[in-house]
Amino acid sequence: MAAVDLTTHPGHLARRLQQAHTLLWNAMVSEEITSPQFAVMNAVTAEPGLDQRTVGERVSLDRSTVAEVVGRLIRRELLDKVRDPQDGRRYLLRLTEEGARVHRRLTLRAARMNQVLLAPLSSEEQGLFVDLIRRVSEAAEELRQPVQVPPRP
């Protein structure tokens, strides 16, 4: 069997793009705050008082990953959790003052990083590229749901 041309495989290209993003993130944005941690901080900035489950849904993190990310942000005193006054079993998330400062700083750095990441494309291509990967990403969310495969006859 002959080797395949991986430059035509979306999964291979997505992995390479993720590698480039991680390299740029660490070099230009933060070595301490990861991209998923920033996403959680950003979700709480956009909608203060979300519960952990909803934050995970907003940023496409599974329950165990969002729990780990939230825990790390709380330990770093960038995020607080407070009891929901309407449901004492539930906790709501909010950024601390330091968390808000860190989020503002990282937002500016992330914008510059995205400019570098997308620099090989024209501004029109950049918009199209982001739209296309957003559409594929949103469609891929359905793959997280258990798929019922019909039995073979």
Q: What is the CATH number of the domain that holds 32?
A: 1.10.10.10
Residue 120 lies in a domain: yes
Residue 145 has pLDDT above 70, yes or no: no
pTM: 0.87
- Residue whose pair of structure tokens reads 């997308």 in the numeric block: 118
Domain that holds residue 131: 10-142
Using pLDDT thresholds of 50, 70 and 90, give the confidence band for residue 60: very high
Does the structure show a pLDDT above 70 at 153? no
Give buried/exposed letters for 73-110 (b at 16+ CB in 10 A, else e). beeeebbbbeeeeeeeeeebbebeeebbebbeebeeeb
In angstroms, the CA 20 to CA 18 distance is: 5
Residue 109 lies in a domain: yes
pLDDT of residue 141: 80
Cα 6 to Cα 42: distance, rounded to the nearest angstrom: 34
What domain count does the chain have?
A: 1
